[in-house]
Structures are given as C-alpha cells and as structure tokens.
Amino acid sequence: MAEEKNLIEYEDVRQRIADLSQKVSEMADYIKITERRNRLAELEELQSQGDFWNNQQKAREVIEQTNAERAYVLPYDSLVKTVEDAAVMLELAEMEEGQAQQTAFSDALQECSKADDYFSKLRLQSLLGGKFDQCNVFVKLHAGQGGTEACDWVQMLYRMYKRYAEEQGWKIEEYDNQPGEEAGLKDVYFRVEGPYAFGMLKAERGIHRLVRISPFDANKRRQTSFASMETVAEINDDIDVEIKDEDLRIDTYRSGGAGGQHVNKTDSAVRLTHLPTGIVVACQKERSQHMNKEKAMNMLRAQLYEYYEDQKKAEMDRFYGAKSENGWGSQIRSYVFCPYTMVKDLRTECETSDVNAVMDGNIQPFIESWLQMKAK
C-alpha cells in the first residue's frame, strides 16, 4: 500500500514537472526571451565602454533599460534552472532508497514550488507592457475629507508605500511636503526609482478610504477620512515637451524641516506653476536651488506630457487619472480598522483581514489583481 502511494506521488510530481516545462516553453515565446537576452547583451556592452559615464543622464537611462530587461531574463533563467533541478531530483529519488530517497523527493517538491514562484513573477512582468510601465514614477499623496485625521492618513499611506518600495528594492526620493496643522501631512510629493515602478504603482492611483477610531477624538468616535494617490511616469529626455518661459512662474521659498543651517536660511526650495494648465510642482529636497529647479522641471515635464496626451485622445483617465472628488463614493479601496479589520479593493473585490500587513507594505495582491483585471 505504501509503495502504491509513493508511486502515485511520484507520478503527480512528474506530471507537475512536465506542466512546468510546457509553461517554460510558452513563456519564452510570450515574453520574447531571445530578443530580450540580445537586448540585454547590447546594453551591458554599452556599460562596459570607457566613455559610458561621460553623459550621466544617458548612462542612467541605459542602466534603467538594463534593469528592465534583467527583470525578465533573470527570473526566466531561474525558472528554467529550477525545473531542470526538480527533474534531476526526481530521477535521483527513483534511484535511491530509504531516507536518501525521501530527501531527494522532498528536494524535487521544493524546486517545483520555487519554479511556481518564478513563473508567477514572470506572469506579473508580462502584464506590464504599457508604454511607460518600466519607468520611474512621481507620486503625490493628498489629504481629502477628514481634517487632521485625513492628514494622518496621508502619512500612514506614505509609510505604506515606502515599505512596499523597500520590499521591491526601489529607491524613494521625497521632493516636497506640506505638514498638517496638527499632525500628519496635507500633501507629499515623492519619486520612486526602480524597474517597472510606474507599471506597478499606477494600480494604486485613486481615492483611499480609512475607517477607524480616531486618536484625535477625545470621545473615541469612529471616523472616516480620505486621501488621494496620483501617479505620473517619469519620461525620458527624448520625449519632447515644450515649456515656454512666459508660461512658467517660478517661486522660491525656504526649505522646511531638518537639513542644516544652510538649508533653513536660504530660499533654496522651488515651486513651478505652469500658467496655461495650472499644474503646480515643487521640490525642496536639495540644498541647491538649481538642483531643486531641475528636479521640479522633470516632474513638470512628466505631468505636462500626460496632460497633453489626455487632451489629444480625449480620455482624461488614460494616464493622468480620472478626476474625482476626494471623499465619499469615489474610493478605490477601503481600509477598515474598526469595528472589524478589512482592506478591500472595490474595483477587483480583492480583500484581506490582515490590515496590519497591508499597512506594512503588503499591497502586492491588490496590484496584481488590478493588473490582471486590466489585461482581460
């Protein structure tokens, strides 16, 4: 009886490996792995040239493109290797006996599980085929209805996205923020740098709703507050966006917060207002006014590009995001802390009761479910 059971288990694993091998073949064609491997080799050859860093902006673009191709090639190579290793372990299990046989069989199962993980990662990558999905992203969080509670909610969301970025191996660079009157943040602008940062975080664009017992209410009443999240892809220099000097108002002001005596005593922060569209961007991160202006201009170029694209296509929610009221009835996701715990995405019905894990950055299931919905 035990031998019959072992035979069934072996056949199940053998079939699982066969199915994974078929998926490997299909995935290779779907993601055009040969083309990506050739492109990666070309980019790596560029980086090996002695004058590579002579143009730092171009060098950064090449590095970003290299990382984007590696995000496909490395998981694919790992998938191939784990499937091959699983087959080898299963063959070894069939030749061994006793404890050695069980060890080899367990190793084959572990390799199959690893292969499933790599396949899931590649499947996610395959959903990120938008024009700017591989780009870095500018993000703005803004407090909506809810007063001080909404400002605190912005700060909580900011922490959540920073934790998520850390898990992805991305870099966050804060550009500007406006503190709340009592606590939290009214607004915060930041840039996320990493492979497919825009492609992933565009899933988070919209109104986020919080329900909890407010720590700012002496009567401990349940409060509902809102915050908006906006994303704009950081575009490359080869995409032309005309910004006329006469259309631009440049304001300088003193940087806030920590940063040393130099920062606090000079007007190094820069705010740019594009008069025809009313788009406003700001940066106070750098000590140099020139550097702050350069970063703000990059952000303005990105926002203007998407604004003009929306106008040409008459689809105001294609890239820039549909404008909606930052309050009741407009939310994409609800975060409930009381009287029960639940985070639910109202677009995809994806939900979890582990609200603490979500606030610690575990938002990947929501992002993946949205990307899968959009791909259908």
**What does 297-347 look like in DSSP terms, one character per residue?**
HHHHHHHHHHHHHHHHHT-TTSSS-----SSTT-EEEEEE-SSS-EEEETT
pLDDT for 6 equals: 58
Question: Is pLDDT above 60 for 328?
Answer: no
Question: Is pLDDT above 60 for 92?
Answer: yes
Rounded mean pLDDT, 127-156: 91
Distance (Å, whole) CA 238 – CA 235: 8
Distance (Å, whole) CA 184 – CA 192: 21
pLDDT over 70 percentage in the chain: 89
Residues 267 and 285 sit within 8 Å (Cβ to Cβ) = no
Q: Any residues with CB less than 8 A from the CB of 70 and at least 6 apart, and which?
A: 40, 195
Distance (Å, whole) CA 159 – CA 153: 10
pLDDT for 262 equals: 44
* Averaged confidence pLDDT in the chain: 86
pLDDT over 90 percentage in the chain: 51
Most confident of 122-126, 162-166, 266-270, 289-293: 162-166
pLDDT for 156 equals: 97
List beta partners, residue 253: 269
Burial class (CB in 10 A: 0-12, 13-18, 19+), 163: middle
Nearest to 208 by CA among 164, 149, 163: 149
pLDDT in tens, 35-59: 999 999 999 999 999 889 998 888 8
CATH classification of 2-126, choosing from 3.30.428.10, 1.20.58.410, 3.40.50.970, 3.30.360.10? 1.20.58.410
Residues 217 and 225 sit within 8 Å (Cβ to Cβ) = no
Task: Count Cβ atoms below 10 Å from residue 241 Cβ, excluding itself.
Answer: 16
pLDDT for 122 equals: 86
pLDDT for 314 equals: 53
Question: Is pLDDT above 70 for 8?
Answer: no
pLDDT for 68 equals: 83
pLDDT for 259 equals: 45
What's the Cα-to-Cα distance from 305 to each of 142, 153, 267, rounded to whole Å? 21, 30, 29
Q: Any residues with CB less than 8 A from the CB of 252 and at least 6 apart, and which?
A: 267, 268, 269, 270, 271, 289
Which amino acid, residue 99? Q
Can you list the positions of beta strands (E) in 275-330?
Answer: 279-283
Domain extents for the chain? Answer: 2-126, 131-376
CATH topology for the 131-376 domain = Alpha-Beta Plaits (3.30.70)
Element (H, E) at 177: strand 171-179
> 3-class DSSP state for residue 32?
coil
Distance (Å, whole) CA 95 – CA 91: 7
pLDDT for 1 equals: 38
Question: Is pLDDT above 70 for 5?
Answer: no
Nearest to 203 by CA among 145, 117, 127, 131: 127
Which of 125-129, 162-166, 259-263 bottoms out in mean pLDDT, i.e. has the lowest? 259-263
Distance (Å, whole) CA 252 – CA 243: 19
Which amino acid, residue 315? E
